Structure 1
Amino acid sequence: MTVDDHPLLREGIAAVVKRQPDMQIVGEAGNGLEALAQFRQLQPDITLMDVQMPEMDGVQAITAIRAEFAQARILVLTTYKGDAQSWRALRAGALGYLLKSSLRTDLLAAIRAVHAGGRWIPAEIAVELASHAGDEPLTEREIEVLQRIAAGNSNREVGAMLSVSEETIKARMKSILVKLSAKDRTHAVSIALKRGLIRL
């Protein structure tokens, strides 16, 4: 089953899969809610799941599917190499991680590997995961602060939005800079975007 909010991508995957004698597409979905409903009905061997979708994102959908079907084999599809995104998907129960840029070369091998009971994690993702394995993670509140800073808000404005003082936001930013090894706010935002901790 393929789950992606771009019909063209689903069509492209279907075109590749239908040429394989040992594979067939049994269903498609455009968001996480549809994916959950379709999974209950079809219980496919492998699910290809996009991360960023409307209604319910891929990580939420993986969590929901795996809560009902512990044996579900899900491969994540994404354009992002960031370790935070991959870590969330793998922690939710995904067995593999496929970059959309490498679908042409890796799609079939990844499906077969996961179907055989293995995992599929591209080398560049594995390197990112390993390089941040010992880092102290940002708290949900710190991610929320950084997300609002990234949108162009000042410390005072973020404080007003979150009903805390400007001093509290300054203290949070200090902690964020240390955890991300960032020189300043702009550097922190660019690191967080690259790693998939926040989105613009």
Structure 2
Amino acid sequence: MQTMNTASVLIADVHPLIRAGMAALIESDGKFTLLGQACDGQQAMEMCDRLHPDLLLMDLNMPGCDGVEAIGRIRAQHPDAKVIILSGHDGEDDADRSMRAGAHAYMLKSAPLADLMTCIHAVLQGKKFMMPELAVKLASRIHGNQLTPRERDILMHLATGMSNKVIARAAGIGVGTVKFHVKSIMSKLNVCTRTEAAMVAAKRGLVHLN
């Protein structure tokens, strides 16, 4: 809880080095009080319930709970808490889903520390924040063609290397229907091959492959 112009902060990230770096940054600024660190989504939610931070710095991709789901649950339980997503992915899909779920900002882990501090201060002042390059991507996406839920499902299968026949069996549809959707997907992604579609999808955050 924010007191005497000092904002309380909780850090949630799967990587110990990232958590340590964020903790050092927060503790070096007298305007913040570090409440603790969480290593997964479930722990982040539990610590929010117990500590009631003013600000949560959270990795989007953590074990224990989907990041977008965690954002929604945390914001529902703690509507006054501010959430900043720190991600290693510059895909506009991840940024869009995060902001729609209730995050106040989406920052890349590769961003300069000065930009992160600017983001933190802006969010604590009640503003939304997004890196300019991601904002441009999102604007382009809004005005462009978006994939349907069925196309997203097929794209996920396609990205794992499945053939049209296998995708049809997994999705419970005909091979001809799969071919139609694959053609539509490649057109919307502006690619010519299935490999290119998988690469573009991964870069944009439309699919996440290990």
Q: CA deviation at 1:160?
A: 1.7
**2:29 alignment partner in structure 1:** 20
Separation (CA, whole Å) in 2 of partners of 1:47 and 1:63: 13
**1:167 alignment partner in structure 2:** 176
Q: CA deviation at 1:144?
A: 1.8
* Root mean square deviation, CA, Å: 1.4
**1:77 alignment partner in structure 2:** 86
Q: CA deviation at 1:137?
A: 2.0
Structure with the bigger percentage of strand: 2
User: C-alpha offsets along residues 66-123 of structure 1, whole Å, 9 cap, x if unaligned?
Assistant: 1222222100100111111100000001111111001523222211111111122111
- Contact 1:32–1:60 (8 Å) recurs in 2: no
Unaligned stretches of 5+ residues in structure 1: none
TM-score for both structures, normalised by structure 1: 0.94
**2:66 alignment partner in structure 1:** 57
Change (3 A) 1:35 1:103: farther
Look up the SS of the partner of 2:113 in the other structure. helix
- Contact 1:81–1:125 (8 Å) recurs in 2: yes
Matched, 1:145 2:154: yes
User: C-alpha offsets along residues 103-151 of structure 1, whole Å, 9 cap, x if unaligned?
Assistant: 5232222111111111221111111111111223212221121111111
TM-score for both structures, normalised by structure 2: 0.90
Q: Which moved more, 1:183-192 or 1:150-159?
A: 183-192
**How many corresponding residue pairs?**
200
Separation (CA, whole Å) in 2 of partners of 1:141 and 1:48: 33
Matched, 1:178 2:182: no
Separation (CA, whole Å) in 1 of partners of 2:64 and 2:203: 24
- Contact 1:2–1:48 (8 Å) recurs in 2: yes
Written as runs of structure 1 = structure 2, the 5 A alignment for 1:15-164 is 15-164=24-173
Percent of aligned positions that are identical: 38
User: C-alpha offsets along residues 28-76 of structure 1, whole Å, 9 cap, x if unaligned?
Assistant: 2111111111111111111011111112122110011112222221001
Unaligned stretches of 5+ residues in structure 2: 1-9
Look up the SS of the partner of 1:125 in the other structure. helix
Separation (CA, whole Å) in 1 of partners of 2:105 and 2:149: 25
Counterpart of 2:68 in structure 1: which amino acid?
V
Separation (CA, whole Å) in 2 of partners of 1:103 and 1:8: 16
